[in-house]
Amino acid sequence: MHPILIRNNVKILGEGSQVIVFAHGFGCAQSSWKFITDAFLKDYKVILFDYVGSGDSDLSQYDQRKYATLEGYACDVIDIIEALDLKNIIFVGHSVSSMIGMIAALQMPEAFKKLVFIGPSPRYLNDRDYIGGFNIGDIETIFDHIADDYVAWSKQLAPVVMNNPLKPELADFLQECFEATDPSVALAFAMATFKADYRDELKNLSVPSLTLQSSNDMMAPLSAGEFIHKNTPENFLVVMKATGHFPHISEPEETIREIKDFIEDISLKSALDHLYVSQ
């Protein structure tokens, strides 16, 4: 097996020829996609992986300097694309992986067909007229909490970001994901995430993209999704009924439907069908 596939614990599933890559967000691993991947196995070749330092990746390959920025994580994505010789891929990124996917697509646009951003943010820090949802004091407090007691912080965070009080088991699942991540890796990933600013890069993206924005998402407010939509060529914005930052866990059916509508051009097909019928 290729060493990259071992390093990133890459799994290849499904019966289709069109490749779809699912990239997990902060504090998670490929297991976070388990609520939606079955819906894609019949028609797609599904690629799952863990960033180095997450899930069942090879922790011995973790490089503090490399993963101090999101470009380091984008290198993982590009390495996997090259190791498997992937072309024309659909990339689905959750949270920070939205911008990681964009970085990879800016570097290798020929490898990407479409991008799906779930709960994305080009910058988490507020900046003059831009509302990212956090001020510098908020972010420093997050870093302090992770450094002091990551497990306690994750227990407090999970139900808030899941925002699904009627299904407490989902917050429990998310908390388990968080706790499986090494605290020092989590802190470095948090720093790379919250210090990032990719607002100026959005205009350079040539690959069509979809922004899936949850309702009432404390990590990625609507203002962040709207900024991406307004500043990115060929970006489509859908505000979901799902609440919280993890719609692929809390509302998998809605998430599956919106992803498929975009990647299969359902709305275009239905419009053409309607046109044909009306004639």
Write out pLDDT tens, residues 118-134. Answer: 999 999 999 999 999 99
| pLDDT at residue 264 is higher than 80 | yes
The catalytically annotated residue of 217, 229, 248, 250 is 217
Asked whether the beta carbons of 236 and 226 are under 8 A apart, the reply is: no
Sheet bearing 112-118, strands edge to edge: 11-13, 44-48, 18-23, 89-94, 112-118, 209-215, 235-243
The percent of residues above 90 in pLDDT, for the chain, comes to 93
Q: Is 97 a catalytic residue?
A: no
Domain count, the chain: 1
| pLDDT at residue 3 is higher than 70 | yes
| pLDDT at residue 270 is higher than 50 | no
Report the chain's C-alpha Rg in angstroms.
18
What number is the average pLDDT over the span 187-209? 97
The rounded distance, in Å, linking the Cα atoms of 178 and 168 is 16
The rounded distance, in Å, linking the Cα atoms of 245 and 145 is 20
What number is the average pLDDT over the span 154-158? 94
| pLDDT at residue 277 is higher than 60 | no
Q: Is 245 a catalytic residue?
A: yes
Averaged confidence pLDDT in the chain: 93
Report residue 264 CA to chain centroid gap.
20
Categorize the per-residue pLDDT at 55 as very low, low, confident or very high, splitting at 50, 70 and 90. very high
The percent of residues above 70 in pLDDT, for the chain, comes to 95
pLDDT at 143: 96
Reported pTM:
0.94
Beta bridge partners of 21: 47, 91
The catalytically annotated residue of 54, 95, 121, 250 is 95
| pLDDT at residue 16 is higher than 50 | yes
Asked whether the beta carbons of 197 and 132 are under 8 A apart, the reply is: no
pLDDT at 1: 83
| pLDDT at residue 69 is higher than 90 | yes
Q: Which of 2, 209, 196 lies closest to 91 in space, CA to CA?
A: 209
The rounded distance, in Å, linking the Cα atoms of 29 and 126 is 28
Q: Is 217 a catalytic residue?
A: yes
The catalytically annotated residue of 57, 245, 248, 250 is 245
What number is the average pLDDT over the span 135-164? 95
| pLDDT at residue 42 is higher than 90 | yes
pLDDT at 261: 96
Q: Which domain holds residue 63?
A: 3-278
List the CATH number of the domain containing 76. 3.40.50.1820
The rounded distance, in Å, linking the Cα atoms of 246 and 55 is 17
Contacts of 278 by beta carbon, 8 Å cutoff, 6+ apart: none
Q: Which of 70, 54, 177 lies closest to 62 in space, CA to CA?
A: 54
